[in-house]
């Protein structure tokens, strides 16, 4: 590692830190305002709200990592250009491609850290605490680490042993009683897929009939069965982890399972691939920032470069979101929707850098 590399990386590290703290502060404030709109009843609730907003910061920062990357890189290189240091580097024999390669190193590092956080940190922080689930169920539900989840609705009881991959209920037992409290039917299922309308598609089902109706067999088996779940929307929301809360490996397995069963998987696959292309997106943002900083401005104002970088970052983020929604709506290939936009932007950035050379 030579002196030039250390100096450039030092400036980039400072810029990443400042940009990250600035955006983190803004995200935390927006989250706090959103929570406070729901009302708080005291200092204790205010502290809980502050902690809740803080726990959502990692995921928010990762979603805006391309914006942070382009903003930090443009700020660092723009400052060097303003002090003519970037010009001196190039006159001394350092090519623009060499500067771009050095600037990519922090981008690769932060994107890999972000992927590690998505695998191990964010899922833990998004995991709903057991007490919250129990409180939401009230007197009709109980959660125990050894016995799973128990929920009652009228004369029907549901027991879920565990959630595989955070979204697939497994080890399911449904008990149905009559008005006198006698067990009428016991339904056991290996696992279930929760449908969009709230119903559960039970798989590997066995049903035991304990009623007096002799026309119904005592024991029967079925590969699948639809169960009209009695869980409320809030209970179901707490029971199932959202796609963004799943580790990358679990999300990959879940998407593969949906494909194997012929279930709808586009939304989950889109979340997966947008995360997997995060390093590519960050590298593209670095190239755009390098191309912007490499063009000498007469005013040499850092603010102009920062505004340009911010517009590029936010614009690309918005276009990516629009492309995601259009891709899901029009059933476009998920991988193409995730990979094509940063690839096209990379070609534009490379063309700009080649012209600035």
What's the mean pLDDT in 216-232?
89
Q: Residues with Cβ < 8 Å from 114, sequence gap 6 or more?
A: 62, 65, 278
What's the mean pLDDT in 223-249?
80
pLDDT above 70 for 273: yes
CA gap 25, 140 in Å, rounded: 40
- CA-wise closest residue to 66 among 329, 319, 305, 297: 319
pLDDT above 50 for 130: no
Domain boundaries, the chain: 3-126+267-356, 130-240
Is 165 within 8 Å of 243 (Cβ atoms)? Answer: no
Condensed to tens digits (0 to 9), the pLDDT of residues 59-70 reads 999 999 999 999
pLDDT above 50 for 139: no
- CA-wise closest residue to 235 among 174, 158, 170: 158
The helix or strand, by DSSP H or E, that contains position 293, with its residue range, turns out to be helix 278-293
Q: pTM, whole model, 2 decimals?
A: 0.81
pLDDT at 134: 46
Is 336 in a helix, a strand, or coil? helix
Q: Residues with Cβ < 8 Å from 111, sequence gap 6 or more?
A: 65, 69, 278, 279, 281, 282, 283
Condensed to tens digits (0 to 9), the pLDDT of residues 279-326 reads 999 999 999 999 887 666 554 566 776 777 778 778 888 888 899 999
Q: What is the CA radius of gyration of the chain?
A: 27
Is 338 within 8 Å of 273 (Cβ atoms)? Answer: yes
Is 122 within 8 Å of 245 (Cβ atoms)? Answer: yes
CA gap 90, 357 in Å, rounded: 9
What's the mean pLDDT in 56-81?
91
Integer angstrom CA distances of residue 232 from 100, 140, 259: 53, 12, 27
Q: Residues with Cβ < 8 Å from 143, sequence gap 6 or more?
A: 130, 133, 134, 137, 149, 150
pLDDT above 80 for 193: yes
Give percent of the chain above pLDDT 70: 88
**Topology (CATH) of 130-240:** lipopolysaccharide transport protein A fold (2.60.450)
């Amino acid at each position: 590692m030579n002196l030039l590399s250390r100096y450039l990386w030092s400036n980039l590290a400072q810029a990443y830190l400042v940009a990250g703290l600035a955006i983190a502060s803004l995200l935390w404030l927006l989250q706090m305002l959103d929570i406070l709109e729901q009302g708080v009843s005291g200092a204790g609730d205010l502290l809980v709200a502050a902690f809740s907003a803080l726990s959502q910061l990692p995921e928010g920062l990762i979603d805006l990592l391309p914006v942070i990357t382009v903003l930090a890189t443009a700020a660092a290189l723009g400052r060097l250009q303003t002090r003519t240091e970037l010009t001196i580097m190039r006159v001394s024999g350092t090519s623009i491609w060499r500067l771009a390669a050095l600037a990519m190193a922090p981008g690769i590092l932060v994107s890999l850290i972000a992927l590690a956080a998505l695998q191990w940190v964010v899922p833990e922080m998004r995991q709903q605490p057991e007490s919250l689930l129990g409180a939401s169920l009230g007197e009709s539900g109980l959660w125990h680490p050894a016995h799973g989840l128990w929920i009652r609705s009228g004369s029907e009881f549901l027991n879920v042993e565990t959630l595989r991959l955070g979204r697939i209920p497994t080890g399911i037992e449904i008990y149905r009683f009559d008005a006198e409290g006698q067990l009428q039917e016991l339904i056991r299922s290996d696992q279930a897929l929760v449908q969009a309308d709230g119903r559960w598609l039970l798989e590997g089902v066995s049903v035991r009939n304990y009623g007096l109706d002799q026309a119904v067999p005592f024991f029967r088996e079925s590969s699948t069965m639809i169960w009209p779940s009695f869980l409320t929307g809030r209970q179901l929301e707490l029971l199932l982890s959202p796609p963004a809360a799943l580790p990358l490996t679990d999300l990959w397995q879940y998407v593969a399972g949906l494909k194997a069963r012929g279930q709808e998987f586009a939304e989950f696959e889109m979340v997966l691939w947008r995360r997997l292309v995060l390093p590519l997106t960050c590298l593209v943002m670095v190239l755009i920032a390098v191309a912007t900083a490499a063009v000498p401005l007469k005013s040499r104002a850092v603010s102009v470069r920062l505004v340009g970088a911010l517009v590029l970052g936010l614009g690309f983020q918005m276009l990516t979101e629009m492309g995601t929604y259009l891709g899901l709506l029009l059933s476009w290939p998920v991988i193409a929707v995730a990979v094509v936009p940063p690839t096209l932007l990379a070609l534009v950035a490379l063309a700009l850098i080649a012209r600035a050379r």
